[in-house]
Amino acid sequence: MIKQGRRFGTPLFLLALTAIFSPSLAAAHGNVTIEEDICVRRVGGNMVHFSAYQPQIEPKAQYCTDIPDVGDTFLVVDLVDPSLRSLPVGVKIIRGVNENEQDEAKTVAYWKPVSHPDGVVRGEATLDKGLYKLIITAEGLSPSSYVLRVQQIDYSKFGRAALGPLALLLVLGIVGYELSKSSRVRGWFTSRRRS
């Protein structure tokens, strides 16, 4: 009875793992609601969406906090909530992740606060390899920020991406071990040796 349960349980377990780790089931950045979008932040309770573009590298690619290469980068902040469009909104980009008002040498780009009736704050910055902080301010509201990684490896994403294949290898190793213990498989190998 136990051997029969193993015989049917293992394939069902493998089928379940395949369904869980199937790439077609993975949700992409574009398949999430705006509230779940990693590129959305709140400035004083109002939503903004950040995008970065490097057309000299990949003409149609849109990035958020992980920017793949150094050089000229077009930065766009969409003011999702219409109430922000009548307020002066500004953007500051500093090198590193700590904002120190006394150290203006770290400021890479600054767009002074003005109103944006079209709902889009645009600008360009030349970014070198490293970490940056993009700070969005709106008059009278609490600021919001993004940490930008330029030509950096995000090891947490790398680890999450490797988790599925590692789990599959572990399961295949267990199945192989169980099969090697099976009397039916041992009998097959023994009969092959005698031939």
Mean pLDDT of 43-60: 93
* Cβ 43 vs Cβ 8: under 8 Å: no
Question: What pLDDT is recorded for position 83?
Answer: 93
* Cβ 86 vs Cβ 138: under 8 Å: no
Cα distance between residue 85 and residue 97, in whole Å: 27
Statement to judge: residues 13 and 41 lie in one domain: no
Statement to judge: residues 69 and 126 lie in one domain: yes
Locate 147 and state its tokens: 């940490």
The answer, yes or no, to whether residue 65 has pLDDT greater than 80, is yes
Mean pLDDT of 49-70: 93
Looking at residue 28, the DSSP 8-state letter turns out to be P
The answer, yes or no, to whether residue 54 has pLDDT greater than 90, is yes
Question: What pLDDT is recorded for position 89?
Answer: 96
Domain count, the chain: 2
CA atoms within 13 A on the CB side of 105: 1
Mean pLDDT of 59-85: 93
* Cβ 92 vs Cβ 107: under 8 Å: yes
pLDDT tens digits, 160-184: 777 888 888 888 888 877 777 776 6
Containing structural domain, residue 96:
32-152
Question: What pLDDT is recorded for position 165?
Answer: 83
Statement to judge: residues 173 and 186 lie in one domain: yes
Cα distance between residue 158 and residue 66, in whole Å: 13
Question: How many Cβ atoms are within 10 Å of 50's Cβ, its own excluded?
Answer: 24
Higher pLDDT, 113 or 185: 113
Q: Report residue 86's pLDDT band, with 50, 70 and 90 as the boundaries.
A: very high
Give me the residues paired with residue 121 across strands.
77
Question: What pLDDT is recorded for position 155?
Answer: 61
Q: Is the dihedral of CA 72, 153, 62, 106 positive or negative?
A: negative
Statement to judge: residues 71 and 146 lie in one domain: yes
The answer, yes or no, to whether residue 13 has pLDDT greater than 60, is no
- CA distances to 61, 107, 186, 193 from 190, rounded to whole Å, are 57, 73, 6, 5
Statement to judge: residues 38 and 108 lie in one domain: yes
* Cβ 92 vs Cβ 135: under 8 Å: yes
